[in-house]
Structure 1
Amino acid sequence: MSIDTLFYIILAGIIALLLALFQYYYKSKSASKDNALFAFLRFITLFSVLLLLINPKFEQIQYYTEKPNLVVAVDNSASLKHLKQDNNALVFVKSIQDNAQINSKFNIKLLSFGEDLKVSDSLTFKDRQTNIDKVFKSLTQVYKNTVSPTIIVTDGNQTVGNDYQFSAKKYNQAIYPIILGDTIVYSDLQISKLNVNKYAYLKNNFPVEAIVVYNGNQTIASKFIVTKGNATVFSKNIKLDKSNNSQVLNFTLPANGVGVQDYKAQIIPLETEKNKTNNYKNFAVEVIDQKSKIAIVSSILHPDLGAIKKSIESNEQREVVFLKPNSIINQLNDFQLVILYNPNNLFKPLFDELKKQNKNKWVIIGAKSDWQFLNNVTSSYSLDFTSQTEDYQPFLNNYYNPFIVEDIDFKNFPPLKSTFGDAVFNQSYETILFKTVSGIKTEQPLLATFETDGRREAVLFGEELWKWRAQSYINEDSFLKFDNFIGKLVQYLASNKRRNRLNIDYNSFYNGSDNITLSAQFFNKNFEFDADASLNISLKNNETNITYNRPLILKGNNYQVNLNSLDAGNYTFTVAAESENISVSGNFKIIEYNVEQQFLNADVTKLQQLATNSGGNAYFINNYTALTDNLLNDNRYLPIQKSNKSVVPLIDWSYLLFIIALSLALEWFIRKYKGLI
């Protein structure tokens, strides 16, 4: 409290006292006990009112004790059940939750993980993938700046993600692995990797690469076989020993039939093998009889050209060819789509021919585009351009209708560069991405599509797409999401199919450990997205004849259903709208494969290194009681007393208003009782 405030409080007390004395002594001309009481009550009232007007502020300090967190992350993947360690994990978790001393010293945070980390009170051990790398990345965001020793209950076998030892270093917490699984090393022969393209072309041979690994001390002989149905399509004898414990097999298989062709690769197991599940792998290839061909036409060199090509060709059904504007005219019939990059006067014959043949195209307009030329050759849109350039960041239009667009964090992508100016469309169009300029969202399209006379077109008002692909890799450790976005756009532009009110997005086959999600879009009669529709999917397993019925849930600008729980097999399905007689049917295949059943032992070495590098200790499940003793006796995890200092104004003290009301009420009642009013 300042000296000025203290002076005002003293002055307020003097003024309140003088006013009370003036009223009950000076004016009454008498001194009595009643007047003294009335003067006191009036002084209290006046002084309290003046205090509220001065409103002094007081420092308030609150002390509290903060216990450290104890993070318990439990592996919820199917590998624990396969290794028969699920009950051990449950017993350990219950022992931690029921330990009174641990609960007294720590705030226990129970989490479970498979492919993702989540808060969970129940464990099912059914997750199809294990991503320990993602566990530590997520924990770093929440607990990095706290005292949070972490227990991770796992076998240490990771199926997806980067090496988790690197992400654990950034976590900056002591880690205590509870190791689940057998540590005895058995002789084991397995197919470690099997690499094959997703697509192949009819009458061609497609390559297959298989890596066979042997873990043991004796020299062994076995046979690698690939079968299709009951027929053997490839076989090879192999010999391995302790020093030569792996072999890479490269071979090709013929693609003789159109559609999904499934195969089984297996290495004949040893008689003494304990885990024979990892001796075989199923795989499939979709054989197609044609390939989409896309031309990228540019008169300049730019990193965007390579990025677009890689994104498009990530789908083996598509081939990209680079051409100059003057060399494509006679080859137009060979392409399903033409991409025109930074067009200028050299593109005039090509624009004329594209219009004449009513060909689909995607125009990418950047800082080097000639807008005066474009305004002359296209009637669909124009730009009030200047000589200046501008950077445009994207944000997704959640109501884009022609096809399903997933938000791949567009708003945090680097800006694209283009000529400054607003585009004016002379026909109806659909915006995929809007422009954000200097952090301000606009209604101007950055990427838009439209249809004219059965021809589909797209226009992107910006260059430097390569930065988007790079940013997508930084975000996801993969180009997949960005490549899928470009792939869907190219698929839409390369087709002239009539629009349907119900569109389905799915793959023709899935591996057993994949996330299986089917997406759908439903439109009203005006082809506007209907967010109030009720869509259901009916699936039938063709081998077992079991039928499943599930609703599709609205998520953003599409409806989705998760089918992860389905068993391997061939499925036919129908998605139908309840309100109208509209449905779409299809089929897909789930390839039998459980990556979580490929492991025989816990990864003890890596978990022990993880503990050592973080300042913790590793424990086997049969010795977990030593962990609780360690945590209770470790002086790094003592409760911390903290204080919270706050400045509270007097006007926030409600009991002062109560004192004013009480003093006035007492004065009135006493005066009334004495007959003075």
Structure 2
Amino acid sequence: MSSEILIYIIFAGIVALLLALFQYVKKGKNRSKLDLFFSFLRFVTLFSVLLLIINPSFEQVELSIEKPSLVIAVDNSNSIKYLKQEHKTLAFVNTLQNNEALQEKFNINVYTFGNQLKQGDAIDFTDKQTNVFDAFKALSQIYKHGMAPTVLMTDGNQTFGPDYQFATSVYKQPIYPIILGDTLSYTDLKIQQLNVNRYAYLKNEFPIETILVYNGSDRVASTFVVYQGNKKVYSKRLNFSKQDNSKIIHFTLPANKVGVSAYRAEIKPIDSEKNTINNIQNFAVEVINEKTNVAIVSDFPHPDLGALKRSIENNEQRSVSVINTKNFVSKAKDFQLVILYQPNSKFKLVLEKLNTLKKNYFTIIGTKTDLNFINNSDLGYRVDITNQSEDYQGVLNTSYLPFYIEDIGLESFPPLLSNYGGVQFNLPVDVVLYKSVKNVTTNDPLLCTFETNDKREGVLLGENIWQWRAHSFLENQSFHQFDNFISKFVQYLASNKQRSRLNVDFQSFYNGNNRVIIKAEVFDKNYVFDTREILQITVKNKASETEKTFPLILKNNHYEVNLSGLEPANYEFSLSVKNENITKKGAFQILEYHVEQQFLNANALKLQQLAKNSQGTSYFMNNSVEIIDELLKDKRYLSVQKSSENTMPLIDWKYLLAIISLSLSIEWLLRKYNGLI
């Protein structure tokens, strides 16, 4: 408390005392002992009021000891169980958690990782995939500050994600790998990789590439076989040696039947081979009867053309041709959807041909678009002409009805360059994205669709969509999310099917190591998304005839169910809305593939390099207890004493109010009792 505040308190006491004496002791000889008591009560009241006004306070310093964190990250994938390391892993985690010396020095936190990082010690080794790099990326957000040495218990076999050997670029903590599994080299033949397109076309042949790897020193022979059901459709005899230890096989198979065709590729095991699971790999191809041909019509080059072509052709069911206005008219019948990129007066014959053929089309309007031509072409809308441009970002309309759109973070994407001004539609439109400028969302559409004269149309009021695709790749290390967004948009525009009140989003087949997710949307009779409905899906295994029913969970603007627990098989499903007589049926197949069981031993070299890069130490399970001594002796991991300075009131205002109330009450009661009021 400062000396200035102390002077104020003394001055307040003097003033309160003088006022109290002035009121009750000014009578001279006639004053009584009661007047002196009244003076005391009035002094207490006035002094308390003045203390409330002054509000004296003092600084309080609190000291605390902050211990470093000890992170225990445990590989929860089923490869640990396959390598018979689960019991040793659980025992060692328990040893670390219950060590009193470690508890005294560290705050111990246990995490598990497989598909994703999870906090807690619910370790069951059931995850179907392993992403070590993603676990470090998540931990880097939790332990940004302070020391947090990390004990990493894993076999080092990662099934997807960036190389974790370089995780020290994002995670700046010392890492101590505990290597689970042995490093002995076994004789082994395996299918290292099998590449095949997801789709094929009826009466064509589809290519397959297979990489086979041999680990051993003797010369061996084996046969590579592909089966469709019980029928052998391909076979090849192969020889391997220590020097000639890999083979790349290219071959084709015929697509004779529409639908999903499942296959099993197998390299016959050799004698004394320990792991035969990695000798077999299942795959499937969906055979379709026709391909959707899309035309992008433009009279000048632009990066958007290439970005759109690659996004659309990412779905193998679609083919894209970039064509100019002169050549389009004669080929218009060949396309199911036409994209008009920044049309001008040269597009007059193009529009006439599209209207004659009743073709669906998608118009992209940018700064090079002839807006007078747009406004005079009777397209159902008019664009304001201001001869100015503006950058607009997109804001997703979560109430968009025609089909399900997943939020891929479009609001954070770079802005598109567009003409400044609004657009007026003379027919109902469904807005996919609204325009946003300087974080202010407008009512003008940036991307929308509408239906007129038995055909569907879409309008994008902005150029440089190639930047969106590039941004999506930087955020996700993949074009998949953006390409999927464009794919669904193109699929809707290329079709003339009537709008349904129940939309179901699923794949015809799923790989066994991927999540099996089915999504659905349900609308009321006014085609407004209904969040009150109860949806359930009944899944039937075609082979065993068993049925299971699962509820769908509401997630933002769609319903979703995770069927990843189903065993590999062919399934039929019926998805129904409880309060409405609406049902959708379908079928899918889950392929058997145990990616976590493809490994024979631990990846010790990579884990040892990770430890070296992070200034940690690697251990094998048989000498893992030595890590406890190292952690306890390492002088980098010291507790830190922290001080916090808090300003505390000298007297709490609640107590002062209580004193004021009490003194005034006593004074009033005594004056009333003595007839002075």
- How does the TM-score come out when normalised to structure 2? 0.95
Match of 1:204 in 2: 204
Cα distance in structure 1, aligned partners of 2:55 and 2:305: 68
The whole-number CA distance in structure 1 between the counterparts of 2:281 and 2:105 is 48
CA–CA distance in 2 between the matches of 1:186 and 1:602?
12
Q: In the alignment, residue 640 of structure 1 is paired with which amino acid? A: V
- Structure 1 pair 675–63 and aligned structure 2 pair: CA distance change class (3 A): farther
Is the Cα–Cα contact under 8 Å of residues 166 and 610 in structure 2 kept in the other structure? no
CA distance in 2, matches of 1:669, 1:637: 66
Residue 326 of structure 1 contacts residue 347 of structure 1 at CA under 8 Å; is this kept in 2?
A: no
* Alpha-carbon contact 1:212-1:248 (below 8 Å) kept: yes
Distance in 2 (CA, whole Å) between partners of 1:672 and 1:59 is: 44
Deviation at 1:402, TM superposition (A): 0.7
Tell me if structure 1 keeps the 8 A contact 2:570–2:589.
Answer: yes
Q: Is the 8 A contact 1:74 1:152 kept in 2?
A: yes
> 1:150 and 1:299, CA in 2 relative to 1: closer, same or farther beyond 3 A?
same
Q: Kindly report the root-mean-square deviation, in angstroms, between the aligned alpha carbons of the 2 structures.
A: 2.2
- Alpha-carbon offset, residue 62 of structure 1: 2.3
Aligned to 2:142: 142
Measure, in 1, the Cα distance between the counterparts of 2:239 and 2:79.
29
Is the CA contact (8 Å cut-off) linking 2:76 and 2:124 kept in structure 1?
A: yes
Structure 2: which 5+ residue stretches go unaligned? Answer: none
Deviations, residues 31-66 of structure 1 (Å, cap 9, x unaligned): 887766654444333222112112345333322222
State the partner residue of 2:451.
451
What is the CA distance between 1:6 and its match in structure 2?
4.8
Shift of 1:580: 2.0
Contact 2:52 2:653 in 1 (8 A): no
Between the aligned partners of 1:646 and 1:464, the Cα distance in structure 2 is 54
Q: Matches of residues 264-663 of structure 1 in structure 2 within 5 Å? A: 264-648=264-648, 653-663=653-663
- Contact 2:311–2:483 under 8 Å retained in 1: yes
Q: Deviations over 1:114-160 (max 9, x none)?
A: 11112233122111111111111111112122321112221111101
Q: Which amino acid aligns with 1:400?
A: Y
* SS in structure 1 at match of 2:326: coil
Which range moves more in the overlay, 405-414 or 254-263? 254-263
Q: Return 543-552 or 92-101, whichever deviates more.
A: 92-101
Q: Provide the C-alpha distance between the structure 2 equivalents of 1:102 and 1:71, rounded to a whole number of angstroms.
A: 12
Q: Quick one: distance in 1 between partners of 2:635 and 2:26?
A: 71
- Give me the whole-angstrom Cα distance separating, in 1, the residues matched to 2:29 and 2:328: 115
- Give the residue type in structure 1 aligned to 2:550: R
The answer to whether the 8 Å contact 1:379/1:426 transfers is no
1:9 — aligned with what?
9
What is the aligned partner in structure 2 of residue 246 from structure 1? 246
Deviation (angstroms), 1:293: 0.2
C-alpha distance in structure 1 between counterparts of 2:66 and 2:671, whole Å? 54
What residue identity is the alignment partner of 2:309? K
2:153 corresponding residue in structure 1: 153
Residue-by-residue CA offset, 1:180-200 (whole Å, 9 max, x unaligned):
112222111111111111011
CA distance in 2, matches of 1:40, 1:588: 90
Percentage of matched positions with identical amino acids: 54
What amino acid is the match of 1:146? G
* Larger displacement relative to structure 2 (84-93 or 19-28): 19-28
Helix, strand or coil at the partner of 1:145: coil
Offset of 1:365 from its aligned partner?
0.8
Contact 1:472 1:481 in 2 (8 A): yes
Which amino acid counterpart does residue 491 of structure 1 have in structure 2? Q
* Superposed CA offset, 1:356-385 (max 9, x none): 222100011111111111011134111122
Secondary structure of the structure 2 residue equivalent to 1:488 = helix
Distance in 1 (CA, whole Å) between partners of 2:676 and 2:71 is: 72
1:649 CA drift (Å): 5.6
Deviation at residue 268 of structure 1 after TM alignment: 1.3
Partners of 2:146 and 2:665 lie apart in 1 by 53
Query: Is the Cα contact below 8 Å between 1:199 and 1:316 reproduced in 2?
Result: yes
- Code of the residue aligned with 1:510 in structure 2: it is Y
Which amino acid in 2 is paired with 1:347?
F
- Contact kept, 8 Å, 2:134 with 2:161, in 1: the verdict is yes
- Partner in structure 1 of residue 111 of structure 2: 111
Q: Which residue number corresponds to residue 230 of structure 2?
A: 230
More displaced stretch, 22-31 vs 224-233: 22-31
Question: What's the secondary structure of 1:609's corresponding residue?
Answer: helix
Partner AA of 2:394 in structure 1: P
What do the CA deviations read for 1:417-476 (whole angstroms, capped 9, x no partner)? Answer: 110011111111111111111111122211101111210011011111111111111111
CA shift, 1:14, in A, is 2.2
* Partners of 1:52 and 1:650 within 8 A in 2: no
Label 1:157 to 1:453 Cα distance change in 2 as closer, same or farther (>3 A): same
Q: 1:355 to 1:621 in 2, by over 3 A?
A: same
SS in 2 for 1:377: coil
Given the two structures, how large is their TM-score scaled by the length of structure 1? 0.95
The separation in 1 between residues aligned to 2:385 and 2:7, in whole angstroms, is 68
Contact 1:169 1:613 in 2 (8 A): no
* Paired letter, 1:511: N
**1:125 maps to which residue?**
125
Unaligned ranges ≥5, structure 1: none
Contact 1:144–1:173 (Cα < 8 Å) also in 2? no
- Taking structure 1 as reference, are residues 102 and 41 closer, same or farther at Cα in structure 2, changes over 3 Å only? farther
